[in-house]
Amino acid sequence: MNVVDYPWLSLHWQRLVQLTESQKLPHAFLFIGSQGIGKKTLVQAFEALLLCQQPTLQSACGECRSCYLQQQGLHPDSRRYGEQDPISIDDIRELKSFIEETPHQNGKKVVCLFGVDKLQTAQANALLKMVEEPQDKTVLLLVANKGTILPTLKSRCFIINIPIPASQVALAWLVQQHPQVAISQINMSLYFATGAPLQARALLAANLNEYEAMISALLTGNVAAFDSAQIQEFILSKPLAALYLMYYFLADLLKVVLKGEPGYLYNDDQSQQIAKLKMCIPTPRIVEFIDNVNESIKSLALPGVNKSLLFESLFCQWQLLCQQGIKHESRT
- Choice between 38 and 55, CB closer to Zn ion: 55
CB of 61 to Zn ion, least distance (A): 4
- Choice between 60 and 196, CB closer to Zn ion: 60
- Choice between 58 and 237, CB closer to Zn ion: 58
CB of 54 to Zn ion, least distance (A): 6
CB of 67 to Zn ion, least distance (A): 3
Residues in contact with 267: Cβ distance below 8 Å, sequence separation at least 6, in sequence order: 182, 183, 184, 185
Three-state DSSP string of the chain: CCHHHCHHHHHHHHHHHHHHHCCCCCCEEEEEECCCCCHHHHHHHHHHHHHCCCCCCCCCCCCCHHHHHHHCCCCCCEEEECCCCCCCHHHHHHHHHHHHCCCCCCCCEEEEEECHHHCCHHHHHHHHHHHHCCCCCEEEEEEECCCCCCHHHHHCCEEEEECCCCHHHHHHHHHHHCCCCCHHHHHHHHHHCCCCHHHHHHHHHHCHHHHHHHHHHHHHCCHHHHHCHHHHHHHHHCHHHHHHHHHHHHHHHHHHHHHCCCCCCCCHHHHHHHHHHHHHCCHHHHHHHHHHHHHHHHHCCCCCCCHHHHHHHHHHHHHHHHHHHHHHHHHC
Q: Which residues of 243-276 are buried (b: 16+ CB within 10 A; e: fewer)?
A: bebbbbbbebbbebbeeeebbbbbbeebeebbeb
CB of 48 to Zn ion, least distance (A): 7
- Choice between 60 and 231, CB closer to Zn ion: 60
- Choice between 52 and 144, CB closer to Zn ion: 52
- Choice between 15 and 65, CB closer to Zn ion: 65
CA angle centred on 86, ends 206 and 15, rounded to 5°? 80
- Choice between 48 and 186, CB closer to Zn ion: 48
- Choice between 52 and 213, CB closer to Zn ion: 52
- Which residues of the shown chain bind Zn ion in the complex (CB under 5 A)? 52, 60-61, 64, 67
CB of 29 to Zn ion, least distance (A): 20
- Choice between 69 and 169, CB closer to Zn ion: 69
For residue 164, give the nearest of 43, 264, 4, 33 by alpha carbon: 33
